[in-house]
Chain A
Amino acid sequence: DTEVTQTPKHLVMGMTNKKSLKCEQHMGHRAMYWYKQKAKKPPELMFVYSYEKLSINESVPSRFSPECPNSSLLNLHLHALQPEDSALYLCASRRGPAYEQFFGPGTRLTVL
């Protein structure tokens, strides 16, 4: 099974709301990722967790807060977002270095 699941599929939020995106994988992968993707552009890395510890933060604004409760789950907490944060948010996982990443279906986020 090479499935990464994400919820919700769609999210509309106001600039003062607090919401969370969730990601889950049961492949035993120990690296998990959050990406942001704008239309007609490749995915842009936000955060990497390795063995449940944050290993890479690509200078993402603090209104995005990642969390890795256990080796199968990844959350992205959202607060006080801006309209320009509207995008497709993708979660991915990887077995190890030099192995391919498997992506989830994404959450389409709209910030009003």
Chain B
Amino acid sequence: EDQVTQSPEALRLQEGESSSLNCSYTVSGLRGLFWYRQDPGKGPEFLFTLYSAGEEKEKERLKATLTKKESFLHITAPKPEDSATYLCAVPETSGSRLTFGEGTQLTVNP
């Protein structure tokens, strides 16, 4: 059974203080790893897809990386508007279902 574990559960940063969120996974065969951002009361917003170890993707202050066991979401010089819950997920072998991590709630204080 696929497993996804995110850490930390919650993270508080000062504006401009860079950090990383972790997503560890155990799957029978990786068919991709997805990162989402979710604001309170809204649907998850797609950020990145990573398919193979060594792959990196960037968007503004966010960079996602992938190894054979985990993915990191690096946040460089965060701003208060980056405050959200960040979810990672992996598709099962058929691709139909996603296994989600529990999420990391990020708060960036001005």
> A residues within 8 Å of B by Cβ?
2, 4, 6, 31, 40-43, 45, 48, 50, 55-56, 88, 90, 92, 94, 96-106, 108
Contact = CB atoms under 8 A, between A and B. Distances in A.
B95 interface: yes
Contacts of B100: 42-43
A97 B91 contact: yes
A42 B101 contact: yes
A102 B91 CA distance: 13
B102 A42 contact: yes
Given A42-B89, A98-B32, 6 more contacts: A4-B43, A40-B103, A94-B95, A99-B32, A100-B32, A100-B46
Closest 6 CB pairs of A and B: A97-B95, A42-B100, A103-B43, A98-B31, A106-B43, A103-B44
5 contacts: A88-B43, A97-B94, A99-B95, A104-B43, A108-B41
B97 A45 contact: yes
B28 interface: no
Most A CB within 10 A of own CB, among B95, B101, B105:
B95
B43 A90 contact: yes
Contact of B97 (A56, A99, A103): A56
B45 interface: yes
B94 to A, nearest CB: 7
B87 A31 contact: no
A43 B100 CA distance: 8
Contacts of B42: 105-106
A42 B96 contact: no
Given A42-B102, A50-B96, A108-B41, A102 B46 contact: yes
Contacts of A102: 46
